[in-house]
Amino acid sequence: MKKLFVIVMVVVLSLTAAYADVKSDRLFQAALLQSLMLGEYDGFVSAGGLKTYGDTGIGTFQSVNGELIMLDGVIYRALWDGSVEVVPDSETIPFANVTFFDSDIKQENINAESSQELKNLMTKIAAKHGKNQFYMAKVTGLMPRITVRSELPQKEPYKPLNDALKTDQREFTYENIHGTVVALYCPDYMDGLNTPGWHLHFISQDGKKGGHVLELAAKDCLLEMDVISEFAMIVPDRQSFNDKNLSINMKEAIQQVEGK
Ligand SMILES: [Zn+2]
């Protein structure tokens, strides 16, 4: 009897241990935010290909032609004129982060008066689990107010993103709109490959409005978070990418682009 108990305990312990090699949850990243910042705007992953790496995420398109929002396996493009379309699988992507979303953490009645308040709230909830994990979050419900941006497609020779956005960014403010904020959290050690903290995109419930979130208010929303412990990245193998100096500090330029 004692022997059986020991065997059962060993089985239970090995099932509950979080072995990384059996965990399927992975954040996939195409290129570096830093290479995008320096003008690597040519797509190298297809929209169809991206769907094999996840069903939820954020990014941009060939020539920075709009903001990418992926939700429930559908890839939306929020364009510079405020319209949104579902992209075909042949569309190409120069930068994105996606994952197959699991709702590991759930919290109802999320209220925030500003995007910073929402970020602080999500950071607090994420930090309870651990600040050094990756998180993909969905905030779904009513946004009393939201300001999103997109941008005009860029022509070669490509300017750095912070310069391009100075003239080519377009902003849209909506009131009392239902939808989902798709948000990515990168831990501090991702400085250099991406940007630490939260990055928010939005898609309306009817799929007709969206973009990169600059400011918002959220009312009685549902927050779901996916805790992610694995990170995978691919980079384009081409001259323009291989010639870029990716060791320079781009913190300030990234903050400009993020709208901080
Ligand atoms: Zn964005």
Q: Is the residue at 13 inside a domain?
A: no
Q: What CATH number should be reported for the domain holding residue 99?
A: 3.30.1330.80
Measure 125 CA to ligand 1 centroid, in angstroms.
22
Confidence of residue 23 (pLDDT cuts 50, 70, 90): low
**Residue 3 covered by a domain:** no
What's the domain count of the chain?
1
Asked, for residue 71, whether it belongs to a domain, the answer is yes
pLDDT of residue 259: 84
User: How far is ligand 1, taken at its centre, from the CA of residue 68, in Å?
Assistant: 8
Average pLDDT over residues 210-225: 98
Answer whether residue 17 is part of any domain. no
Closest CA to 185 of 256, 234, 123: 123
Q: What is the pLDDT of residues 163-217, one digit of tens each?
A: 999 999 999 999 999 999 999 999 999 999 999 999 999 999 999 999 999 999 9
Domain membership flag for residue 12: no
Question: Average of pLDDT values for 126-148?
Answer: 97
Å from CA of 220 to ligand 1 middle: 24
Predicted pLDDT at 17:
52
Question: Is 54 among the domain residues?
Answer: yes
pLDDT at 22: 47
Question: Residue 246 sits in which domain range?
Answer: 24-258
Distance 212 CA to ligand 1 centre (A): 4
Task: Report pLDDT digits (tens) over 42-66.
Answer: 999 999 999 999 999 999 999 999 9
Q: Is residue 235 part of a domain?
A: yes
Strands (E), the chain: 27-30, 45-46, 56-60, 67-71, 74-78, 84-86, 92-93, 95-99, 105-112, 134-151, 169-186, 197-204, 210-228, 231-234
Distance (Å) from CA 19 to ligand 1 centroid: 32
